[in-house]
């Protein structure tokens, strides 16, 4: 009975992970108007699940790290009560954040719950492993993402101009272009949007598009394909990095700890994204920074590179923090960062670890009292 309860709690955590994290890889597709919400969500679901499947072969070190071995007493990591408490504490943290639309890190939630439940169980917490194997990569990865994005975007922007690809301002309703407005300043664009909205009876939005050819291919078509590939790479990397972290909690149950456990976690992540991703999707896509297709492509490229590299070497980075860091970097370079929302997200990040630790500890005490 305890093993069935363990499986259910871990799958609930995986569902919460999908609800909060699945859309992060494709947020730039939706935010830049490259596709609609349904199209972006479908692409995220497929590519994330492919990452989950690949994790069976490439992410063994993450499985070991997130089992708790070396972080808490060795006898504790084989305790069903401890593992249930970790999954419950982390899952509740992620679900609370998803409810209010805040993109937080499942990685941070798991680490907090591992520590909190371990403390509640009377275990020593091994600070060296916590600092080196967990905190160091989690703290440096978003800073790295901001820095690399800030360097890459101006460089690729210069390359695009040298190739003769020009940028136009388009006023659109949905995916339909109403008017192209080259050379207008921001104030003039806003005024024209209001005029057109009154004329067509629908909300008119401003988008950028590119004109020109590269190797005989129209620039908009080429960039859309590259944007889709980069977004899929981020989602793939997220599945590769997150699935073993959650599946590690099933290692104490031989019947759930192998391929079957990884597949079950991957499916639960997919379901969580399909059913409950909308609120976080709106924040990631539209409330951190305005972006065009090229900016979204660069942010995805940086995120995918960092997360896939970290997964290969067993480093528990947060896809959330890396993807948000890339968007912060784009917003900083373009001057369009929405500082109030970024402040709220940073506050949510700071509170994730202590909240997950508290919930993990409370879950352990509750499970122990329940016998």
How much is the average pLDDT of 273-289? 83
pLDDT, tens only, 63-115: 565 656 677 787 887 788 888 898 899 999 999 988 888 888 888 898 899 89
Closest CA to 208 of 270, 252, 160: 160
CA 118, CA 114: separation in Å to the nearest integer?
A: 6
Q: 225: exposed, middle or buried (C-beta count within 10 Å: 0-12, 13-18, 19+)?
A: exposed
3-state secondary structure of 173: strand
pLDDT of residue 14: 92
pLDDT, tens only, 108-147: 898 899 899 999 988 888 877 777 777 777 788 888 888 8
Task: Supply the pTM of this predicted model.
Answer: 0.77
Say whether pLDDT at 1 is over 60.
no
326: which 2 tokens?
Answer: 């890339």
CA 129, CA 104: separation in Å to the nearest integer?
A: 23
């Amino acid at each position: 009975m305890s093993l069935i309860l363990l499986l259910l709690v871990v799958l609930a955590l995986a569902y919460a992970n999908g609800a909060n994290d699945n859309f992060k890889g494709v947020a730039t597709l939706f935010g830049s108007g490259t596709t609609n919400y349904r199209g972006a969500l479908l692409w995220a679901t497929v590519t994330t699940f492919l990452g989950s499947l690949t994790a069976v072969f490439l992410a063994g070190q993450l499985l070991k790290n997130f089992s708790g071995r070396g972080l808490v007493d060795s006898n504790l990591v084989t305790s069903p009560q401890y593992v249930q408490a970790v999954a419950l504490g982390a899952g509740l943290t992620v679900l609370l954040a998803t409810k209010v639309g805040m993109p937080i890190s499942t990685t941070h939630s798991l680490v907090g719950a591992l520590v909190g439940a371990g403390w509640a169980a009377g275990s020593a917490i091994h600070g060296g492993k916590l600092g080196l194997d967990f905190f160091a990569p989690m703290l440096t990865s978003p800073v790295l993402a901001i820095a690399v994005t800030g360097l890459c975007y101006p460089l690729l922007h210069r390359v695009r101009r040298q190739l003769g690809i020009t940028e136009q301002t388009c006023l659109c309703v949905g995916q339909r272009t109403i008017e192209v407005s080259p050379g207008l300043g921001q104030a003039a664009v806003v005024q024209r949007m209001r005029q057109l909205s009154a004329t067509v009876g629908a909300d008119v939005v401003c988008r950028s598009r590119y004109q020109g050819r590269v190797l005989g291919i129209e620039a908009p078509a080429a960039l859309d394909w590259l944007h889709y590939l980069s977004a899929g790479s981020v989602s793939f990397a997220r599945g590769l990095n997150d699935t073993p972290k959650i599946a590690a909690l099933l290692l104490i149950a031989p019947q759930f700890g192998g391929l079957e456990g990884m597949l079950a976690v991957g499916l639960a992540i997919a379901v969580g994204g399909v059913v409950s991703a909308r609120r976080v999707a709106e924040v990631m896509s539209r409330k951190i920074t305005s972006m065009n297709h090229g900016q979204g492509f660069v942010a995805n490229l940086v995120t995918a590179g960092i997360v896939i590299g970290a997964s290969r070497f067993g480093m528990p980075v947060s896809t959330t923090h890396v993807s948000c860091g890339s968007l912060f970097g784009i917003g900083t370079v373009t001057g369009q960062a929405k500082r109030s929302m970024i402040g709220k997200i940073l506050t949510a990040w700071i509170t994730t670890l202590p909240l997950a630790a508290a919930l993990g500890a409370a879950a352990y005490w509750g499970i122990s009292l329940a016998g």
